[in-house]
């Protein structure tokens, strides 16, 4: 436990807020915690009947480079994570899942951010026509599951949620 003795909101933004808390530790020491408030997000490992996985290539401004990721997106206010997964899969790769199963829940950076991630396995996919958000530029593509898994194991996937989704799905598919 860390008791908050004072809290200060530094910035309230579109996606994240930043606040700084003064805290008292259990040993009596005082410290400062810089905290990014994030609404949470979902990521979707969508696998076709031919065992291909949908990916998107997307430029990520914080790291100034393009990453290969599975479809993902932030939760809207009070949005159900499964509903968010269906929405994002439609927007990003134009697919609708017949079957959706949560395979992971985790915190991406618990040292400085509140972001929680829900990962879903989506199968029985059908095409769906959904408008894309205007401020996201994505290049969708498909990669055979075994090839994507080999990339994850060989260090060629640099996105955390995509790594976790592929490695967990490998266990499920081999089980």
Contact set with a copy of itself (CB under 8 A):
1-2, 10-11, 13-16, 18, 20-21, 23, 25-27, 29, 31-38, 41, 59-63, 67, 69, 72, 74, 103-117, 134-135, 137, 153, 155, 157-161, 163-164, 167-168, 171
β-pairing, 116-127 with 41-46?
parallel
**Residue 76 C-beta: closest distance to a copy of itself, Å:** 15
- Beta-carbon contacts of 135 under 8 Å, excluding residues fewer than 6 positions away, are none
DSSP 3-state of 65: strand
| 164, burial (CB in 10 Å: exposed 0-12, middle 13-18, buried 19+) | buried
Closest approach, Cβ 111 to a copy of itself, in A, equals 7
Nearest CB to a copy of itself, comparing residues 91 and 96: 91
Task: Extract the tokens encoding 164.
Answer: 């976790």
* Closest CB 112 distance from a copy of itself, rounded Å: 6
Which residues make beta-bridge pairs with 73? 42
Nearest in space to 34 (alpha carbons), one of 15, 19, 12? 19
Of the pair 125, 164, the CB lying nearest a copy of itself is at: 164
Pairwise CA distance, residues 71 & 90, whole Å: 9
Cβ of residue 74: shortest distance to a copy of itself, in angstroms?
A: 8
Q: In terms of CB distance, is 42 or 125 closer to a copy of itself?
A: 42
Cβ nearer to a copy of itself, comparing 48 with 114: 114
Location of structure tokens 């598919």: 173
Residues with active-site annotation: 134
């Amino acid at each position: 436990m860390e008791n908050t003795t004072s809290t200060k909101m530094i910035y309230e933004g579109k996606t994240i807020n930043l606040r700084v808390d003064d805290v008292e530790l259990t040993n009596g020491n005082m410290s400062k915690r810089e905290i990014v408030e994030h609404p949470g997000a979902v990521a979707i490992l969508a696998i076709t009947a031919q065992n291909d996985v949908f990916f998107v290539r997307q430029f990520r401004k914080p790291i100034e480079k393009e990453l290969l990721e599975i479809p993902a997106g932030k939760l809207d206010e009070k949005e159900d994570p499964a509903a968010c997964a269906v929405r994002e899969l439609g927007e990003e790769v134009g697919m609708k899942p017949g079957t959706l199963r949560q395979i992971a829940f985790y915190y991406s950076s618990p040292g400085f951010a509140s972001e929680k991630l829900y990962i879903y396995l989506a199968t029985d996919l059908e095409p769906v026509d959904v408008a894309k958000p205007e401020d996201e530029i994505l290049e969708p593509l498909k990669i055979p599951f075994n090839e994507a898994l080999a990339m994850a194991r060989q260090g060629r996937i640099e996105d955390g949620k995509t790594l976790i989704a592929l490695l967990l799905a490998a266990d499920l598919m081999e089980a």
